[in-house]
Amino acid sequence: NRDLWVGWSYWVAGDWWSASEPLNIQPTAAGDRPQLAGLKPYLMDFSASSSTCPALRSQ
């Protein structure tokens, strides 16, 4: 369950965290923060095209 532990190991994201918080991974106007680079190899890609969702297919 390694993939599950990564999510629980690092949870400092969201607009409620101070922009100066060293562990904040919330993107800035300039893009992703450097801290996110260390997590990217462990993050799953949940993106999908609209054609994979029956509710979003053209009628």
Tens of pLDDT, residue by residue over 23-48, are 788 888 899 988 888 878 777 666 66
Q: Cα(38)–Cα(45) distance, rounded to whole angstroms?
A: 15
Whether pLDDT at 50 is above 60: no
Measure Cα distances from 37 to 27, 40, 53 in Å: 12, 5, 30
Which amino acid, one-letter code, is at 57? R
Q: Cα(28)–Cα(16) distance, rounded to whole angstroms?
A: 13
Stated pTM of the model: 0.49
When pLDDT is cut at 50, 70 and 90, the band that residue 53 belongs to is: low
For residues 4-29, average pLDDT: 74
State the average pLDDT for the chain.
72
